[in-house]
Amino acid sequence: MGIVVMKFGGTSVANVERIQNVAAKVVAKRNAGNKVVVVASAMAGVTDKLINMLKELTTDYDLREYDQMVSTGETSNVPLLAQAIKQLGVPAMSFTGTQAGIETDNKYSKARISKIETKRLEAALDSGMVCVVAGFQGYCPESGDVTTLGRGGSDTTAVALAAALHADVCEIYTDVDGVYTADPRNVRHAKKLDVISHEEMLELSSLGAKVLVSRCVELGMNYNVDIMVLSSLEDKPGTLVTSKMGAKMAKMEKIAVSGVTSDKNQAKITLRDLPDRPGVAAEVFSALGGTNINVDMIIQNFGVDGIANISFTVSKTELPAALKTCNALAKTLGSLKIETDEDIAKVSIVGIGMKSHSGVAATMFKSLSDNNINILMISTSEIKISCIIEEKFAELAVRVLHDAFIDHGDNIG
């Protein structure tokens, strides 16, 4: 009898009626012969209400108290779901993160899972119980404090439990019905993927696709957990995120590009007139790294007349912090000029078959250029190519690339 982990987000459990719908899905899965672990988020809106009250007191709040408070959103919800399942004649029990044995470090509000002690869950599953686990939370064994896992925390709980329990699959129920080759709101012909590899999904998540946070995909990749992305509203097939070779091979032979994404949360900083001596770049990026600013693309031009220029991108949200660091640097590095550009976007193509097809990059650059879209920066990896372009072209660029690689995917290479 295999184990299935099913995760439901906040809108899926936002009121009693929806909780009952979720309970019916859970019971159907269980009655089909599976041991079932359910991971649920807080009711949509509950946690925000609590956070707003805390912010009325101060914006500089204690993160331990924040975690203790917001975790109650999930904790108060899982008993309702457990009871709804019991009403359908199936034994069920709710678990806090602590009761489910989810141990974390002590980094309040963005804790990392260190270990899952599965004994209690396994005993409950063996006794025929459906286990309903509060997502997004764990506890630090040293302090006994409740911790929360940060953005996308409930997805992370689900994949981590699936890994620890050696589940057959981790099903993530969301308000979309799977992973698409591009955002369907922008690209009308976007196709739902039946299957995608962990690596590709990780790139897509990192590059702006909202369906799964990268952290949870990374966890799935590291522990080889199959993740199925499904609609919580409709009963139809979703997208399987897997590392099973069969799935990958089938796709690799057919098309090179699995998805096209854009990300407008990008800003470019250019440092001009840097002294052109060894170690300057290291000085710049270790200062930024020291303040936990995530630098994405970097271009350094060759020094002329003893000075150099460096351009790099950060997320728009981190731009103020990055500028603060650069201004501090300017004092130690002399006559530094700092320029910023927020009107940019990153457009990317992702595909595990890319490296085995020649001409993918050339096709990408030509497609953009044919549409008068200027490329400001380029970065590549084994399975993706990203270009920084003007922000206003973001949607157009995605459509152009989707058209070039996916709608006519069989023609390239």
CB of 13 to a second copy, least distance (A): 11
Tell me the two tokens of residue 330: 């300017």
CB of 121 to a second copy, least distance (A): 12
E-strand stretches of 63-202? 92-95, 102-104, 113-116, 130-134, 137-140, 145-148, 169-174, 195-197
List residues binding a second copy (CB under 8 A). 16, 19-20, 50, 53-54, 56-58, 61-62, 64-66, 68-69, 72-73, 75-76, 78-80, 82-84, 86-87, 93-94, 96, 98-99, 120, 144-146
Three-point CA angle 162, 89, 28, nearest 5°: 50
- Going by C-alpha positions, the residue among 29, 8, 28 that lies closest to residue 19 is 8
* Radius of gyration for the alpha carbons in the chain, expressed in angstroms and rounded: 24
CB of 67 to a second copy, least distance (A): 8
Q: Where are the alpha helices (DSSP H) in 244-312?
A: 245-252, 280-290
- How far apart CA 340 and CA 311 sit, in angstroms, is 9
AA letter at 232: S
Tell me the two tokens of residue 333: 């590095």
Strands 3-8 and 35-40: parallel
Tell me the two tokens of residue 301: 């031009």
Nearer to a second copy, 117 or 370 (CB): 117
CB of 232 to a second copy, least distance (A): 19
CB of 87 to a second copy, least distance (A): 6
E-strand stretches of 259-372? 259-275, 298-300, 307-314, 337-350
Nearer to a second copy, 99 or 325 (CB): 99
DSSP label at 211?
A: S
Nearer to a second copy, 19 or 256 (CB): 19
CA 283 vs. chain centroid, Å, equals: 30
CB of 146 to a second copy, least distance (A): 8
- How far apart CA 81 and CA 66 sit, in angstroms, is 24
Nearer to a second copy, 144 or 290 (CB): 144
CB of 20 to a second copy, least distance (A): 7
CB of 86 to a second copy, least distance (A): 6
Q: The dihedral of CA 52, 53, 58, 60: what is its sign?
A: negative
Nearer to a second copy, 12 or 94 (CB): 94
- How far apart CA 34 and CA 167 sit, in angstroms, is 10
Nearer to a second copy, 66 or 365 (CB): 66
Nearer to a second copy, 98 or 262 (CB): 98
CB of 144 to a second copy, least distance (A): 6
CB of 99 to a second copy, least distance (A): 6
Bridge partner list, 147: 138
Nearer to a second copy, 78 or 229 (CB): 78
DSSP label at 15?
A: S
Nearer to a second copy, 141 or 184 (CB): 141
- Going by C-alpha positions, the residue among 278, 274, 268, 255 that lies closest to residue 360 is 255
Residue 39 CB coordination number (10 Å): 32
With beta carbons less than 8 A apart as the criterion, state whether 135 and 154 touch.
yes
